[in-house]
Chains A and B, each alone.
Chain A
């Protein structure tokens, strides 16, 4: 077809929009750090010392940075999982459970098979982990689509099932029977299944960045992404437009679970080397913080995950040098979550008007 003139790319406008979009999360983080400093000071420690130790522990050296990447990698996957579900109007609180299943099944594939070629073995373990996450999320998706059961409730329930199921597997059928081992954990994965570093950067991180790009492309450049967003914004308009709403709801959950499961598998194969209950505690929940901090933008999930990852990586250093309990990091993260979720507070602080473009619906009730 003939086109008059291609609309000019408004770089200036885009840059401004980007800055604007980053304003709220940045302010949220700053306010959270400020309150965190206050708490540290109240507890009798010096916040400056604590924060500089936190910074050093997270970004101060190559080793510190490597640890940050390690922590951030599964958070990117988890953040993408939660963000994608949000785009479809779903609040996937079950990323944790999906991630656990992904982690343990990747471990199983990793230790149960020996002698597979390296690329194939790790790819298979990743795939199986991701599929188990997808399967786990599909339950919630199907319940939502066909019975209307709210995904927040069902995914919380499924989290409990996943906690206990993986505990049992790691302490029972798949337990590491190596002599001397008394804790619940699986055997180590075969070397062929482990994810290597490429030029100092963990392969998992590279994968995470590529997946983030792919998710962004899927959401913003494909018809499936359009369908997902339409269902998320207005199920009735989606139905009217001929979009199969139930199918999209299930697909959204499945894809979200796939990403979370992949995150769990990457954690197992790239960092822990086996499945051990407790090692990924809280990952799925931090993923929610990441997704909201990124305002559900798949590309922004990367810096958001790096930030949270750095804080996690630096926490023990901070505790060591300043005596501030590393739990303060959880408090700061909770505050970040609070301020991004209650962004009207920030709008008030900065005296700016809310932009109605990208609004994250935290509940899919009538008001959203």
Chain B
């Protein structure tokens, strides 16, 4: 496409070692002016590490980084920012108690004398968000924003610092299809204005749609480079994983049994006290996967929190196996046989400072064999961890490694392994495969279907229509806190679901 455009950023022979892992080994790649370079690779392949080196967060053990042809020693992000490099991380790095505007200007404050010039900053932010369709309320507190909105803040933040090289680490993992489309428009307009973008994703469709060039990493090494028109989803998946991958889940028809989860006229408020779920009624039966489709922010997060006891119920009832669990403590609900893959893995699902092994018993640490009375059994915990790490292919040096040192996808696998390995009546999975590579998605999907076939009721909340369509037996569409339609998966089409999620009335379809 832009074969002869100048190279703006180059990595040469980058090697980076962590205790027990060779994260990058002799990695070389180039980024050209105005192009979108997609970086693909399995969980733990070393993508984020490489980007962190380019952004100055880590120092490479060997190799060099060149910006516009000149070797630079990136001693920290501020050096990277000076060289016009901006990065949006896989896990956001915002201060939750600050406003959007405060977060954006943090570290790049415009001042008038000794005082912050907030007004000028807000004007600039407003102008940037207008120009790139990045609508956010500058005065909202970041902790009140959805993940999708937080990401926009991160992008504005980079642009605010005049970034001309933008690194986006799995930006679409947290976005709805619509938001993803919007992001692509933004990225295209940015590259048209001369910004160069490195884009990491696990969604092959996105790579084919957006990238100018594709580089694939496997186990820390570059294993190939290609272009979208020479590649297909299948060929990319093979390049990544090194074997052929089944991109479609194979499953038999469901044989639903009795109702396990029943929500009756449930009404909920969000953190600001606004009603977000409105007299919602929904059933999930044993042996079926109910997919809850909806644009983020339509109440599904709160709904899951209420079912699992993390959010007070304003009105209505939550029944599990016919018993009333409305307002019950999370522990009681969990003990009733309910597993929960939470939406926000780093905030809720993991204790980052704990080992992989301890995270794998985060909610079962107190029962046998992991404890006898109040005494923990360290051996049993380790043994359990060894098994799950092998079974779920969690890439970690060992089970006592702290989970903070794992790649994003491997962190998610730890949660999935913990929740799917319990024998449960009800599985509530919010965005279960977010950030997970295609090879592992295949395995996780098989596990979810296997649980279903053993009679577990599965409530799958996903912003991924592909995932919903692949796994669900029935699909319920949530819009503005209500279920607007429930359809059998076999008769639902992407277009129809998209319209329903956008608020179209079912009778008009």
Q: How far is the CA of A262 from the CA of B250 in the complex (A)?
A: 64
Q: How far is the CA of A112 from the CA of B169 in the complex (A)?
A: 70
Partner of B382, one of A7, A234, A366: A7
Interface status of B354 (Cβ within 8 A of chain A): yes
Q: Can you list 19 A-B contacts (CB < 8 A)? A: A3-B380, A221-B375, A222-B375, A226-B376, A234-B351, A234-B353, A237-B349, A238-B351, A240-B330, A240-B349, A241-B365, A242-B329, A242-B331, A243-B331, A244-B331, A356-B404, A357-B402, A359-B353, A366-B95
A3 and B330 contact, CB distance less than 8 A: no
Q: Cβ of B152: which chain A residues have Cβ within 8 Å of it?
A: none
B353 and A223 contact, CB distance less than 8 A: no
Question: Which of B3-11, B76-84, B154-162, B366-374 is the contact stretch?
Answer: B366-374
Q: What is the distance, in angstroms, from B358's C-beta to the closest C-beta of chain A?
A: 7
B351 and A239 contact, CB distance less than 8 A: no
Other than the given A4-B386, A237-B350, A239-B348, 11 more pairs (CB < 8 A) read: A221-B378, A222-B374, A226-B366, A230-B362, A233-B351, A240-B342, A240-B349, A240-B363, A244-B331, A356-B404, A357-B353
Interface status of A199 (Cβ within 8 A of chain B): no
B402 and A224 contact, CB distance less than 8 A: no
- A contact residues, total (Cβ < 8 Å): 27
Partner of B380, one of A1, A223, A243: A1
Residue of B nearest to A365 (CB): B97
The CB with the most chain A CB atoms within 10 A, among B97, B335, B383, B404, is that of: B383
Interface status of A236 (Cβ within 8 A of chain B): yes
Name B's A-contacting residues (CB within 8 A).
95-97, 308, 310, 329-331, 334-335, 340, 342, 347-354, 358, 362-363, 365-366, 369, 371, 374-376, 378-380, 382-383, 386, 402, 404-405
Q: How far is the CA of A249 from the CA of B350 in the complex (A)?
A: 19
Q: Cβ of B363: which chain A residues have Cβ within 8 Å of it?
A: 240-242
Residue of A nearest to B381 (CB): A226
Partner of B376, one of A222, A233, A244: A222
B374 and A239 contact, CB distance less than 8 A: no
A230 and B366 contact, CB distance less than 8 A: no
B331 and A223 contact, CB distance less than 8 A: no
Residue of A nearest to B384 (CB): A1
Q: How far is the CA of A244 from the CA of B363 in the complex (A)?
A: 12
Q: How far is the CA of A223 from the CA of B378 in the complex (A)?
A: 11
Residue of A nearest to B366 (CB): A223
Partner of A237, one of B96, B331, B362, B371: B362
Q: How far is the CA of A347 from the CA of B97 in the complex (A)?
A: 29
Q: Cβ of A179: which chain B residues have Cβ within 8 Å of it?
A: none
Asked, given contacts A4-B383, A222-B375, whether A234 binds B352 with beta carbons under 8 Å apart, the answer is yes
Closest 6 CB pairs of A and B: A242-B331, A240-B348, A241-B363, A242-B330, A223-B366, A222-B374
Chain A 304-318, CB-CB to B under 8 Å as 1, else 0, gives 000000000000000
Q: What is the distance, in angstroms, from B252's C-beta to the closest C-beta of chain A?
A: 32
Q: What is the distance, in angstroms, from A204's C-beta to the closest C-beta of chain B?
A: 27
Q: How far is the CA of A225 from the CA of B405 in the complex (A)?
A: 23
Interface status of A6 (Cβ within 8 A of chain B): yes
Q: What is the distance, in angstroms, from A216's C-beta to the closest C-beta of chain B?
A: 13
Q: How far is the CA of A88 from the CA of B47 in the complex (A)?
A: 35
Residue of B nearest to A355 (CB): B402
Partner of B334, one of A238, A242, A244, A357: A242
Q: What is the distance, in angstroms, from A268's C-beta to the closest C-beta of chain B?
A: 31
The CB with the most chain B CB atoms within 10 A, among A6, A224, A237, A243, is that of: A237
Residue of B nearest to A357 (CB): B402
Chain A 200-239, CB-CB to B under 8 Å as 1, else 0, gives 0000000000000000000001111110001001101111
A239 and B379 contact, CB distance less than 8 A: no
Asked, given contacts A223-B374, A357-B402, whether A237 binds B347 with beta carbons under 8 Å apart, the answer is yes
